[in-house]
Every structure is written in structure tokens, then in C-alpha cells.
Amino acid sequence: MTAPLHPAAPPANPRPTVVTISSYLLFFYAVLQVISVGVSIPMVTATQEVTEELYAGTAMEGAAVGGVIGSVLGIGISLLFAAGVVVLAIFNNRGKNPSRIVTWVAAGLTLCCTGLGLLATAASGALSGVETGDPNLPSQAELQERIEAALPGWYEPASLAIGILGMLAMLAAAILLALPAANEFFRKPPAMWEPPLPGTGYPMGGQYPGYPQAGAGQYPGQPQQHPAQPPANPAGPANPADPANPADPTNPTPPAG
């Protein structure tokens, strides 16, 4: 049994479990982002209604419109970020190293933004007693109390849980992508030589490189050969005019006796 002419290409590195789990965590984070959009709708509605009611007829009457626009922009950014995380998870499963680097950057941004958001939520109670200084405007404490009263009871626990779970998911995904098993998977395999297919990659005329054309009789690089010359004196009668012929009458050298 003869060996195959063209050896099979080496198989790609199998995806390690750490990369698969990391991608699942990224998908989980994207789902949390979508859920957070639904959770934030009551907050947007309550803020708009309370602001319009308290600031009606004052210089801050248009503040409700600006708050709604900011909330809509925040929701759009969250959805775009969730879609980007899904794309990163798909390319991470395929072993694309640039997507892994972008995932680390996204994880760092998530930790900063979510951490700051949680700190701001925790500090909102302490800042609720700060007065605006204008007696014609409602105090910050009154505005905060009215908004919290308009929110459903599940809003704050759900929002806090989504923020913490999302932050932990992104952190775990980034750590798993930095493990040695993941490094081996994302390392670019060395390029391998592949021989040409039968009948391709050779010059026209059916000749192989390095071999002479039909009838040439020699190989490239070999010194050119000339046809053999006939002997000086082929077999036959002696030439009387040849100086080496002792029978030549013009030859002054007598034959040796």
C-alpha cells in the first residue's frame, strides 16, 4: 500500500473548556443587559412623571424631557454593548486573538462603569438631603422620595442583582481567557507547506521542473556535451601527404632501418 501523495493538514487546536465557559459567561452578560433594559423602564417612567409634577411652572420644567432623552440614550448604548459582547464571544470560540484582547478591554470598562454605578446608587441616600438652595424648587430629598415611592418594590433588588452578576460574569470571562490553556488555543499555528495537487503547479508541456525537455539529452546545470568527433586518421589507406607517413616522398626523414 503506497503512502498518499499529499499528506493531510494537521487538525486545528481543539477549543479548551475554559474558552467555552468564558463565551457562555459573555452570553450571560448580554442577556443580563437586555433584562436590565426592561428593568429600567419603570425607572424612566417614574422619573419623568415625578419631575414633570414637581417642576411644573418652574425654571426646571423642561428637565423631565432631558432626563428621558438621557435614559433612552443609555438604553441604546446598553443594547449595542450587549450585541458587541455576543460578537466577541463568537470570535473567541473561533480562536481569534484580537477578539480576546477586545474582551479584556470591555471587561475593564464594565468593571469601572458598573462599580461607579453601584457606588453612586449607594451614595444617593446620603446625597438626598442636599437642598437645591432655591425655595421655589422642591428639594432633592423630596424628589428622591417621590421617585422611590413611584417605583415597584422589586426594582432596586433586581437592578442591584443584575449589576453585580454582570460585573462578576465579565470578570470571570476575562480571567478564563488569560489561562495557559486559552493561550495555547489562541496562539497562531505555524504555516505548513502544502504540495500542489496532481496535474497542477507544473509548467506547460507536461515537463517537471529541473528535468530536460524531451530529446535534449541533458539536465539543467550539466555541461553541454558535443557529439564525438571522428578520429584524425580513420582506418583506411595511408595518406601519402601526411608528414607522419614514411611512404611520403616529400618527407625528408628516412624511415628507420
- The domain in which residue 155 lies consists of 17-128+139-186
Whether residue 26 contacts residue 89, with contact meaning beta carbons closer than 8 Å, is answered with yes
Does the residue 159 lie in any domain?
yes
**Cα separation values, 146 from 30, 43, 52, 141, 197, Å:** 32, 12, 12, 9, 77
Does the residue 256 lie in any domain?
no
Give the pLDDT confidence score for residue 256 in this predicted structure: 54
Does the residue 193 lie in any domain?
no
The three grid cell numbers given for residue 6, joined into one nine-digit string = 499529499
Does the residue 224 lie in any domain?
no
* Per-residue pLDDT tens over the stretch 18-34: 999 999 999 999 999 99
Does the residue 173 lie in any domain?
yes
Does the residue 157 lie in any domain?
yes
Give the pLDDT confidence score for residue 72 in this predicted structure: 80
161 pLDDT more than 80? yes
124 pLDDT more than 50? yes
Helix (H) or strand (E) holding 59: none
Domain count along the chain: 1
Give the pLDDT confidence score for residue 116 in this predicted structure: 72
pTM metric for this prediction: 0.62
